[in-house]
Amino acid sequence: MKFCSLRSGSSGNAIYINHKDVHILVDAGLSGKTIENALRSIGVDPHSLSAILITHEHRDHIIGAGILSRRYNIPIYANKATWEAMKRGIKEIKDDNRRYFATGEIFEIGEVKIMPFKKPHDAAEPVGFSFKAGGKKVSIATDLGYMTRGVANNLMDSDIVLLEANHDVQMLINGSYPWPLKKRILSDVGHLSNDAAGETLLKLFKMKTIGMVFLGHLSKNNNRPELAFYTVTSMLKKEGLKFNVKIALREIESEIIEI
């Protein structure tokens, strides 16, 4: 399998996953042009995309999905509640390209087995995804207020995990956001902090159940890549754990990881 975070953050999310002839985009939360250029920069022709999977209807996850679907005739996959909630955001999609999955039930695209799992976030029916193919596993969990046992179970045994490290709690509290927005981000249906990401990874690395990690969906105003990296890795170092942690940035493609 191949994995590349094209963009990750509240300014837009798009993750590329590939196995053999299956090319999947998880979320399309940037302009069609930006996503096309990002794909081309890693050598992927947008025409070859097999599917766009949607985690939830927030703008930073869907804004380019309709455009790409119409331009390249790509099916979009989402659960029923998300389809309903993103109707206006992605505009007209032809029937054939409207695909449904049920949260908690595995579905397949080619040889890739996909598990959409529930996560706590303030959207209609938000999900994360695990992908299994060729004996490997990749999991994506961003946009969640706290780490549930269900999400953690789905992250286990992944060769690659993209996990949210949205904000530094002190930066958020002391920052310029209005209080209701701060409260939303800190709530159980908001976003995962650097500390919370660190605690999750501490458990997962301790159990030796994950390979490498990308920290993603970093806030522009309430985090910094070095700070997210430092916070998480110092927690892991303290326990003497071996780890492989990278950052998925908001403006640029990550390296392409092949497993």
Q: Which residues bind Zn ion (CB under 5 A)?
A: 58, 60, 143
| Shorter beta-carbon distance to Zn ion: residue 17 or 22 | 17
Nearest to 156 by CA among 209, 117, 78, 113: 209
9 contacts 249 by C-beta, under 8 angstroms: yes
Quickly list DSSP for 80-121.
Answer: HHHHHHHHHHH----GGGEEE--TT--EEETTEEEEEEE---
In the complex, minimum distance from the CB of residue 111 to Zn ion, in angstroms, rounded to a whole number: 29
In the complex, minimum distance from the CB of residue 45 to Zn ion, in angstroms, rounded to a whole number: 27
CA gap 140, 53 in Å, rounded: 12
| Shorter beta-carbon distance to Zn ion: residue 86 or 236 | 86
| Shorter beta-carbon distance to Zn ion: residue 30 or 235 | 30
| Shorter beta-carbon distance to Zn ion: residue 78 or 236 | 78
In the complex, minimum distance from the CB of residue 210 to Zn ion, in angstroms, rounded to a whole number: 22
| Shorter beta-carbon distance to Zn ion: residue 36 or 143 | 143
Which residue lies nearest Zn ion, judged by its C-beta? 58
CA gap 14, 154 in Å, rounded: 20
In the complex, minimum distance from the CB of residue 135 to Zn ion, in angstroms, rounded to a whole number: 30
Residue 169, H or E segment = helix 169-174
Q: Which residues are registered as beta bridge partners of 26? A: 15, 53
In the complex, minimum distance from the CB of residue 216 to Zn ion, in angstroms, rounded to a whole number: 10
